[in-house]
Chains A and B, each alone.
Chain A
Amino acid sequence: MATGIQRRTVLTAGVVSTLFAAAGCATGGARKAGPALHSAATGQIKGTVSVWSWDVAAKALKRLAPAFEQRHPGVRIEVVDIGYDNAYDKITVGLKSGKGLPDVLTIEGGRLPGYIGVFPGGLYDITALAGRYRTSFAQAAWKYVTDGKGKVFALPWDSGPCALFYRTDILKDAGVDPASIRTWDDYIGAGERIKAKTGKKLLIMDPEEDSMFPMLLQQQGQHYVKNGLIAVNDQQGVRAATLLKTLADKGLVQFEKGWDGLVAATKAGKAATTPYAVWWSGTLTDEMKELKGKFGVVPLPAFDPGGVRTSNNGGSALAVTGQTKNAAAAWAFVEFMLADTANQASMLKAEGLFPAYLPALKDPYVTAPQDYYGGQPVFKTFADLASSVPPVEDTKDMPKARDIVNGTVSGIVLHGKDPKKELDSAAKQIAAATGRRIAG
């Protein structure tokens, strides 16, 4: 007789794996030291180099690969566009299981410290070869490709120096001179004036995936951790969160969800400014052609008069994976793409990737006036700021801290919670998750 599901069966479902565990299955254990590349290949390089990338980065790689193949006839470059949305799931699974990765990975700067720290040996140690480029790349970008001991695990590609994009027409209507916005206090004052005169909000934020808070922290020379101690709730952290809270409390923030929300609201002209990274320019020129001539760029407002007028948001790097069987060729390709003035400059022109490689910023294209911005040479503004982006200390615990802080910031901004109290609580959660101590 067919009976219903028995108690025994459902219990089995719960304990079935316990039985397996009893059989004993130990994995893990101490890891061996990661692979390191010490000297460039002496002989001829050959074989296939596979590269994972996405979006315009993949396009750039595909475009320039033939030139590399021509220079090294024995090598074939295979670029795979893995999409951006779940790229890190794919990369993380490959790193975690120690299998299945290509020779070269595209990784964003913000993800690197976590990967370097949590998966030792996951990426090739390229210190011996890449070390000589240390001064050729923007300081802040170089910081995120190195670990705490100064070992290099990737070569920076593009970087995201930040400035303030503004709508020339809205600021004009409100009678606000963009050059007069020198501090965040000026910024708030301008916002109130704009709101009163035009009814427009000052900026757009997605409280769940906030990039403002880390940007404001980096502007003050730190991220979530300082000297190995949790520092989100220190004076700088509270100052950044309070600024965001003030903007929200005064009704100057347009809240939107996700990337599409940001783009749509900007296109609809809901906000007068966007404090964002250089790559936002690509979105403006691609998606908002009809707004040509209506945008301008000034350096980011500072916290104190005379203070740092920029920060960083985004930027990526190319890394040679520890799983590669063709490290020499993989490195040669990375070097060809990134430590090369002509190639870096061509990727700025064709794909809008703003070089972290400083020599490329001397390209005439950078100083040229940009039509879209009514003739303002905006890339020069960013290039001038690029070298003064404060480098910040990031550790493998950065992803945990970022996740926890994101939830906290949305509470402060949306629900008016007290910045200090909330950040203290976030610091405690980070401490519980990472075992780190809280500074101060």
Chain B
Amino acid sequence: MTTLPARAATPPRTPARPTAPRRVRLLGRGAAVLVLTVGALVSAVPFYWMVVASTRDNAELFASPPPFLPGGRLLHNLVALQHSIGFGRVLLNSVGVSVVYTVLSSLISAMCGYGLAKFRFRGRGLLLGLVLATMMIPFQVLLVPLFQMMASLGWVDTYQAVILPFLANSFGIFLMRQAFLGFPDELIESARMDGAGDLRIFYRIVLPVVRPQLGALVIFSFMTQWNAFLWPLLMLNTEDKYTAPVALYTLIGQSHVDYAGLILGSFLATLPVMLLFFLFQKQFVSGLLGGAVKG
């Protein structure tokens, strides 16, 4: 039995409810807008302060009280950041690593999630257990043995060592499994009767239906790799190969911290993720509407 209907062509929106009195409805909407606005503001204020910090001198940030309006040192800080850690280069490194990771990991996670949700096979329980176990075990305790493995393979200071161990992403597999559980078996069955191969069914029929979750997975995978710090730091031993977070952390010194550069760098580093989020949000929200309903 399935609970999530796979009606991809229907708009996921609440239609007008003619039965509810207009005034009550407006009141409800007003409350909703208020809650959302407060939520959005609370979410955005710390972010706003990052903009303030990015445009100030390091020493100004320690003023009491801290500054609340942007200053005029954005360009200066930007030049300094490029000079101190070669920000452009490490950003490109990050893009490369994150894109490769995201494409492969999303695909592998979606496939595994599908396998776990829609097939019964020997070892399924064990695999699902392993997926959950890796999610449950604190990462910190895996560091040393995983590092030993990479070193034995001679992979230290390579990008494959950064990417490969975490390609099978238990969070993503679990997310996709939950999404596929709701997919009607009948659809798969009938496609099979039409003579479609399993892979074809997966790509052409099943995957498009879970596009919202797939979109979320892509964003999360990208974000995870993009912000990953400790593992890349352990793996990379050449400054030219550093990813953005690793390079930014070198701004934290023993008795000197370049906070302005640090915050400017982290702020700029969030922009690609925001862009991706924006693109995929649009994709997975309005893409499903087909052309049938106007956005």
CB of B288 closer than 8 Å to a CB of A: no
CB of B207 closer than 8 Å to a CB of A: no
B80: min CB distance to chain A, Å: 14
Q: Which residue of A lies closest to B145 (CB)?
A: A97
Q: Which residue of B lies closest to A268 (CB)?
A: B64
Q: Cβ of A14 and Cβ of B133 under 8 Å apart?
A: yes
Tell me if A's interface is mostly helix, strand, loop or mixed: helix
Q: Cβ of B136 and Cβ of A13 under 8 Å apart?
A: yes
Contact with B along A257-280 (1 / 0, CB 8 A): 001100111011010000000011
Which residues in window 245-293 of B have CB below 8 A to A?
246, 249-257, 259
Please tell me which one of the listed residues B130, B143, B257 contacts residue A16 in the complex, with CB atoms under 8 A apart.
B130
**Given A8-B125, A84-B254: A97 in contact with B62 (beta carbons within 8 A):** no
Q: Cβ of A12 and Cβ of B126 under 8 Å apart?
A: yes
A284: min CB distance to chain B, Å: 10
Contact with B along A89-114 (1 / 0, CB 8 A): 11001101111101000000000000
**Given A9-B129, A56-B256, A83-B252: A287 in contact with B62 (beta carbons within 8 A):** yes
Q: Cβ of B64 and Cβ of A99 under 8 Å apart?
A: no
Bound state CA distance, A314 and B253, in angstroms? 14
- Most chain A CB inside 10 Å of its own CB: which residue of B126, B132, B145, B255: B255
CB of A1 closer than 8 Å to a CB of B: yes
Q: Cβ of A280 and Cβ of B255 under 8 Å apart?
A: yes
Q: Cβ of A1 and Cβ of B1 under 8 Å apart?
A: yes
CB of A2 closer than 8 Å to a CB of B: yes
Q: Which residue of A lies closest to B246 (CB)?
A: A83
Bound state CA distance, A243 and B156, in angstroms? 49
Q: Cβ of B62 and Cβ of A57 under 8 Å apart?
A: no
Please tell me which one of the listed residues B145, B151, B253 contacts residue A84 in the complex, with CB atoms under 8 A apart.
B253
Please tell me which one of the listed residues A17, A99, A268 contacts residue B151 in the complex, with CB atoms under 8 A apart.
A99
Write out the residue numbers on chain A whose beta carbons fall within 8 Å of the beta carbon of B230.
86, 89
Write out the residue numbers on chain B whose beta carbons fall within 8 Å of the beta carbon of A282.
255-256
Please tell me which one of the listed residues B61, B130, B156, B249 contacts residue A86 in the complex, with CB atoms under 8 A apart.
B249
Contact with A along B155-190 (1 / 0, CB 8 A): 010000000000000000000000011000100000
Write out the residue numbers on chain A whose beta carbons fall within 8 Å of the beta carbon of B125.
6, 8-9, 12
Q: Which residue of A lies closest to B129 (CB)?
A: A12
Bound state CA distance, A10 and B257, in angstroms? 45
Q: Cβ of A57 and Cβ of B126 under 8 Å apart?
A: no
Write out the residue numbers on chain A whose beta carbons fall within 8 Å of the beta carbon of B256.
55-56, 282-283, 286-287
Bound state CA distance, A84 and B230, in angstroms? 13
Contact with A along B32-70 (1 / 0, CB 8 A): 000000000000000000000000001101111000000
Q: Cβ of B249 and Cβ of A89 under 8 Å apart?
A: no
Bound state CA distance, A12 and B66, in angstroms? 52
Q: Cβ of B128 and Cβ of A5 under 8 Å apart?
A: yes
B169: min CB distance to chain A, Å: 16
Bound state CA distance, A80 and B233, in angstroms? 12
**Given A12-B129, A268-B62: A90 in contact with B254 (beta carbons within 8 A):** no
CB of B14 closer than 8 Å to a CB of A: no
Q: Which residue of A lies closest to B174 (CB)?
A: A5
Please tell me which one of the listed residues B132, B233, B237, B238 contacts residue A9 in the complex, with CB atoms under 8 A apart.
B132
Bound state CA distance, A224 and B14, in angstroms? 66
Q: Cβ of B234 and Cβ of A279 under 8 Å apart?
A: no
**Given A9-B125, A82-B233: A97 in contact with B148 (beta carbons within 8 A):** yes
Q: Cβ of B63 and Cβ of A100 under 8 Å apart?
A: no
Bound state CA distance, A98 and B255, in angstroms? 30
CB of A288 closer than 8 Å to a CB of B: yes
Bound state CA distance, A280 and B132, in angstroms? 48
Q: Cβ of B252 and Cβ of A10 under 8 Å apart?
A: no
A22: min CB distance to chain B, Å: 14
Q: Which residue of A lies closest to B1 (CB)?
A: A1
Q: Cβ of A264 and Cβ of B64 under 8 Å apart?
A: yes
Q: Cβ of A267 and Cβ of B59 under 8 Å apart?
A: yes
Write out the residue numbers on chain B whose beta carbons fall within 8 Å of the beta carbon of A102.
237
Contact with A along B126-142 (1 / 0, CB 8 A): 10111011001000000
Q: Cβ of B250 and Cβ of A260 under 8 Å apart?
A: no
Write out the residue numbers on chain B whose beta carbons fall within 8 Å of the beta carbon of A267.
59, 62-64
Write out the residue numbers on chain A whose beta carbons fall within 8 Å of the beta carbon of B250.
54, 81-83
Q: Cβ of A89 and Cβ of B233 under 8 Å apart?
A: yes
Q: Cβ of B132 and Cβ of A10 under 8 Å apart?
A: yes
CB of B152 closer than 8 Å to a CB of A: yes
Please tell me which one of the listed residues B150, B237, B257 contacts residue A260 in the complex, with CB atoms under 8 A apart.
B257
**Given A54-B254, A267-B62: A97 in contact with B249 (beta carbons within 8 A):** no
**Given A81-B250, A85-B252: A93 in contact with B64 (beta carbons within 8 A):** no
- Most chain B CB inside 10 Å of its own CB: which residue of A96, A265, A290: A96
Please tell me which one of the listed residues A56, A94, A265 contacts residue B253 in the complex, with CB atoms under 8 A apart.
A56
Bound state CA distance, A99 and B64, in angstroms? 47
Write out the residue numbers on chain B whose beta carbons fall within 8 Å of the beta carbon of A84.
252-254
Q: Which residue of A lies closest to B85 (CB)?
A: A81
Q: Cβ of B143 and Cβ of A93 under 8 Å apart?
A: yes
CB of A289 closer than 8 Å to a CB of B: yes
Q: Cβ of A97 and Cβ of B151 under 8 Å apart?
A: yes
Please tell me which one of the listed residues B59, B64, B151, B249 contacts residue A83 in the complex, with CB atoms under 8 A apart.
B249
Given contacts A2-B181, A12-B125, A82-B250, 13 further A-B contacts (CB under 8 A): A2-B117, A2-B118, A9-B132, A13-B136, A14-B133, A56-B255, A83-B252, A93-B144, A97-B148, A102-B237, A259-B255, A264-B62, A282-B255
| In the A-B complex, the 3 residue pairs with the closest CB atoms | A55-B253, A12-B129, A99-B151
Question: Chain B interface (Cβ within 8 Å of chain A)?
Answer: 1, 58-59, 61-64, 117-118, 125-126, 128-130, 132-133, 136, 143-145, 147-148, 150-152, 156, 180-181, 185, 229-230, 233-234, 237-239, 246, 249-257, 259
20 residue pairs from A and B, CB less than 8 Å apart: A1-B185, A2-B117, A2-B185, A10-B129, A12-B125, A12-B126, A12-B128, A13-B128, A55-B254, A83-B233, A83-B252, A94-B147, A97-B151, A99-B152, A100-B150, A100-B151, A264-B61, A265-B64, A267-B59, A289-B59
